[in-house]
């Protein structure tokens, strides 16, 4: 939250109980150039369904203006209703979970460890795929996760991986590079330990389902990618927080 408050504070709102400082709801959104992202949104359970969420959503949508928007939605009935009212289409998301069968892992070549010097072309790739670079979010992600890149100028791509081998953001120009990056992620999962592909896979990214099922992970469905004025990016696996 500190990163988002420091980067685009006008997109961050809280609902406070009258007469006290008690925060009862929040909505964090960010503009990244011409793209709007909803980062997180919630109202205390006992106070849901009373219109607080609507007022928070109105505030962050005013910050969005007429920008295209993207975020990951839970299946909460109040959330999906609120997003539908705001003009978003909801694209079901798939994920995969389980333990990688290491006999399925292909030999992976052409990838390198990423550095801050890669961010320029990564932002250009982001812009081609989702209309805007991640800009300051790349620096933040680099501090917290492993970055793997394909620097081939005709076939660029990158992925951020956590220590369990899960991909938190993956972008590529071609599905073949996307598949290679995802195989590298799964290969990096500690042997015999549970891992997965977070539920960020739209139908437009079926290449990720192919990789996950080939690695003998189990397919699941959870949540939606909410989109306005934007087609589902591909080959692309959005990050829940940085999209």
Ligand X SMILES: CC(C)(COP(=O)(O)OP(=O)(O)OC[C@H]1O[C@@H](n2cnc3c(N)ncnc32)[C@H](O)[C@@H]1OP(=O)(O)O)[C@@H](O)C(=O)NCCC(=O)NCCS
By CB under 6 A, name the binding residues for ligand X: 41-43, 48-54, 73-74, 76-79, 81-82
User: Considering the complex, what minimum distance in angstroms separates the CB of residue 25 from ligand X?
Assistant: 6
> Contact at 8 Å (CB) between 185 and 167?
yes
Task: Give the separation between CA 221 and CA 31, rounded to whole angstroms.
Answer: 28
Task: Give the separation between CA 137 and CA 123, rounded to whole angstroms.
Answer: 10
User: Considering the complex, what minimum distance in angstroms separates the CB of residue 183 from ligand X?
Assistant: 30
User: Considering the complex, what minimum distance in angstroms separates the CB of residue 142 from ligand X?
Assistant: 26
Place of tokens 């978003």: 88
Q: What is the three-class DSSP state of 192? A: coil
Closer Cβ to ligand X, 73 or 195, answer by number: 73
User: Considering the complex, what minimum distance in angstroms separates the CB of residue 71 from ligand X?
Assistant: 7
Task: Give the separation between CA 47 and CA 205, rounded to whole angstroms.
Answer: 37
Q: Which of 68, 73, 78, 66 is nearest to 91 (CA)?
A: 73
Closer Cβ to ligand X, 35 or 43, answer by number: 43
Task: Give the separation between CA 129 and CA 149, rounded to whole angstroms.
Answer: 16
User: Considering the complex, what minimum distance in angstroms separates the CB of residue 194 from ligand X?
Assistant: 25
Residue of minimal Cβ distance to ligand X = 53
Closer Cβ to ligand X, 38 or 172, answer by number: 38
Closer Cβ to ligand X, 158 or 224, answer by number: 224
Closer Cβ to ligand X, 40 or 97, answer by number: 40
Task: Give the separation between CA 58 and CA 65, rounded to whole angstroms.
Answer: 11
């Amino acid at each position: 939250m500190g990163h988002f408050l420091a980067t685009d504070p006008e997109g961050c709102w809280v609902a406070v109980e009258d007469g006290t400082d008690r925060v009862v709801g929040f909505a964090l959104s960010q503009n990244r150039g011409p793209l709007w992202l909803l980062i997180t949104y919630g109202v205390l359970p006992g106070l849901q369904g009373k219109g607080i969420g609507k007022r928070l959503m109105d505030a962050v949508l005013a910050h969005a203006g007429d920008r295209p928007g993207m975020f990951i939605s839970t299946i909460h009935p109040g959330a999906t209703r609120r997003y539908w009212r705001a003009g978003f289409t909801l694209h079901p998301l798939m994920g995969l979970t389980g333990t990688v069968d290491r006999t399925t892992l292909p030999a992976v070549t052409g990838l390198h460890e990423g550095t801050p010097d890669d961010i320029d072309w990564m932002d250009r790739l982001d812009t081609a795929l989702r209309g805007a670079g991640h800009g300051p979010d790349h620096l933040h992600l680099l501090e917290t996760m492993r970055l793997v890149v394909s620097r081939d100028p005709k076939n660029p791509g990158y992925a951020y991986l956590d220590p369990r081998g899960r991909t938190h953001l993956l972008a590529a120009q071609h599905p073949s590079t996307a598949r290679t990056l995802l195989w590298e992620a799964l290969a990096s999962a500690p042997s015999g330990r549970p891992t997965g592909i977070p539920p960020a896979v739209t139908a437009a990214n079926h290449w990720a389902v192919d990789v996950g099922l080939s690695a003998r992970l189990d397919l699941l469905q959870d949540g939606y990618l909410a989109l306005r004025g934007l087609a589902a990016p591909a080959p692309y696996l959005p990050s829940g927080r940085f999209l």
